[in-house]
Structure 1
Amino acid sequence: MPLSFDLSDTTPARGYPAQPAVVVLGDDAIGVLAGSGFGVTPHVDFIAALADRLKIDLSATLTVMRHLPLWIDGPQHAELRRKVAAFLAEDRAAKLARATTRIRHVVVRTLGTDGSEHVDLFRMVSEVVDLFMEELTGLPRPEGDPSCMPSIFSSNLGVAARRRLEAMLKQQFVQANDLFPNEPIELHALRVGQFVMGRDALIGTLGLSLHHHLASLGEQKVNARRLPSIPTHTGLPAIGRISSFAQTVAGCPVSAGALIECRLDSLAGRPAADRRHFFGVGPHLCLGRPLSLALWECVADVLAELEIQLTTTEFALAQNDVFDIPLVFTARKSPPSRLLSGYPV
C-alpha cells in the first residue's frame, strides 16, 4: 500500500553548517580526496541537531547515514568499508547477470521497438538504475515519482521533504525486514544506504553522460560511435572535505575545520584515467565503481545494437544541492527502430 505523506508543513529546514573556504578543481581535487589531512563533513551531526531543533523524527535517515562510509572517519570508517565491500561482493556475478538481462529489456523496449517517435529517456534511465539497484541490494524500488524523491545527501530540504524522505526510508527498512528477517538492522541499513546513495549518483551520471553523448553524435545513429568506457560526466559534481589542521590547499591558506569543496565535475572532458576519479579516490573511493561501470557497459552494449538516431528534444536538471540529476530528458527517435542482432521484448 503506498505511503501517504503530509505535505502541509512547508517550514524550511535550510542551511549547511559551513560555506567552502576553497573550491578545488582537477588534480587539486583529486589530491584533497586522496590526502590524509582531511576529514568528512559533519553532515550526520548537522541532521541530528536539525531533528532535535525541529522536533521531528529522522531516525531512519540518521541510521542510514551512519552506515555510509562517506560520512564516517577514523577506525570505524575502515571497518564500515570492509562490511560494504563484503556486501557488494556477495553473489556479484549472479546479480550482474540478472541485472543485465532486465536492463537490456528496458532499453530495447524503450528504443529498439516500433512505437512512439518521442521517448522519455529520463524514465528509461531511472528505470534502468532502479532495476540495477534492486538486484544489487535485494530491495524493491521506492514507490512514487522518481523525479520527486528527495535526496538523503541534501542539506537544503524543507521539513515536508525531510518527512517524505524519512517515510520512504522507513518503508524500505520495513521491506528489508520482511525480505531478510534474520539479518541484523546493521545489514538492513547497508542495503537501504547503498540503494539511496547509488540511485541518485547513477541516475545523474548515466543521464548526463548519455545526454552529452547524443549531442556529440549530431545526426549520426547511436551505433555510429560506442559510448566511452568511462562515463563522460558525473551526477555527483562535488564532494566536501574538512581540513584537519591549518594548511595550504591549492595555494590558499585554510584553517582547521575549513570546508574544502572538491569539484569532481571539473574532470569532465579529461582522459578516461582521470574520469575514473568521478567515483572518488583514496579512502573515499566508491566501492561500487566496478558495478557502476558494469551497468554503463551494459547500456553501451545495447545502444551499439540499435540503428536509430536519437535527438534530444528537452533536457533540464532538477533543483538539487548535491546531485546533477535530469528532471526532464526527452528525445525524438528516427527512423523506425531496427535491432542488428535482435532481443526478445
Structure 2
Amino acid sequence: MLKNTENSAVMGQLISEHASKQILINSPKGSWFSQENVDGSHEAANTTLNTSANSSSKSYTFIVAATVVNFELLEEIINALPTQSNLIKITTNRYHCAFDKMVVNIDCEMNEASSQFEILNATLKNLSETLFIDVFVKPPLFIEQPGLAVFDMDSTLIEMECIDEIAKLAGVGEAVSKVTERAMLGEIAFSESLHHRVACLGGVNLDALLSIRKRLPFMPGFTLLINELKRTGWKVAIASGGFTYFADYIKALFDFDYASSNTLEVKDNKLTGKVLGKVVDAQAKADILQQLAKDNAIPIANTLAVGDGANDLVMMSVAGSGVAFKAKPKVQEQAANSIRFSGLEAVLYLLG
C-alpha cells in the first residue's frame, strides 16, 4: 500500500500558489511552465505545453527524486541540463510522496549531441552527487502493461554478499571478500572467482548458513517495491550469482515468480567447497531474463534488470531498461539509470 503524506499538498503549493493553478516561471535557460493539482492527489497534472519544433532535438522526461523539491532545486537542475526548448513541463510523478521522497517529472527537449549516452550519463551523475538527489531519464516502460523485473540478490535485494558472510564464519573472510570485490568490479571472470571463493568454504556446517539466513538485511524499499510490482501484475524474479540457500528462501518468503542461483554441494551437513551444475554468471542472467519474458509473453521492451555488479551488465543490456543500484563505478557508467541515494522503491519512479 502506498503511503499518503502531507508533502503532496506542499509540493502543489511550491509549484503553484495561484488560484488558477498555473504559473510561468522565468529561468536563465528560458521559461518553464507547470500546471499542478494542489489538493494532495498523486495524479499527474494535465498540462498542455507547446515546444519549439527542432529536427535535431529529442524529447526527454527526467525524473527527480529528493527529500524536498523547491523552485531553487528545479532551476539548478534545469540550468544544468542542455535543453533546447523554451518551455519545460513539470508534473508530479505517479509515486510522488508515495514513500519518503518528492518526485517530479521534467519534460524537455535536448539536442542530439548533448543527449549522447556518455554525455548525458555524466551530467546526471554530476547533478546527483552534487545535490544529493536521484535524477533519472524516464525509460519507455509501462507499469500498466504486463512487465518483468529481474533482480540481482547480493548487495541489491539484500545489504550483504552472502559468500563473504559465510567466509567470515569459516575464518577466511578477508581473502574471500577481496576476490568478491574484484569480481564485482569486473577485474576477473565471475565463474573463475566463484569457484575460487567456494573452494575456501569447504567444511563449513550448514548451521552457519542458517544463522546468516535468519538475519538477512533486506534493502530499504525492498518490500515496498516488490509488493507494488506484484499488485500491478508484473512478474518478479531473482537471477543471482549467489546461492539457492538464500535466493530460494527470499523467493518463497516474498512470493517471487522465479529464482535462479548457484547450488552449493553439501555432504554430511557440510559444504564440500564445490558448486553443482552450471554457474549462474553474467550471460546466464541475461538468458534467464530473455527466457522468462518469452515464457510469460512479455515484450522485452517492458522488462527491467536491476543490479550492482559487473556481472549484471549483460542482463541490463538485453532488458528494456537497466538500473544500477548503488553500484560499482563501471556499472554506473554503462547502466541506463543509477539509483545513488534512494532505496529500491526508486525503481518505481522510473515507471511513474
TM interval, short-chain normalised: under 0.3
Larger C-alpha radius of gyration, 1 or 2?
Answer: 2
> Relative to total residues, which structure has the larger strand share, 1 or 2?
2
Q: With structure 1 as the length reference, what TM-score do the two structures score?
A: 0.24
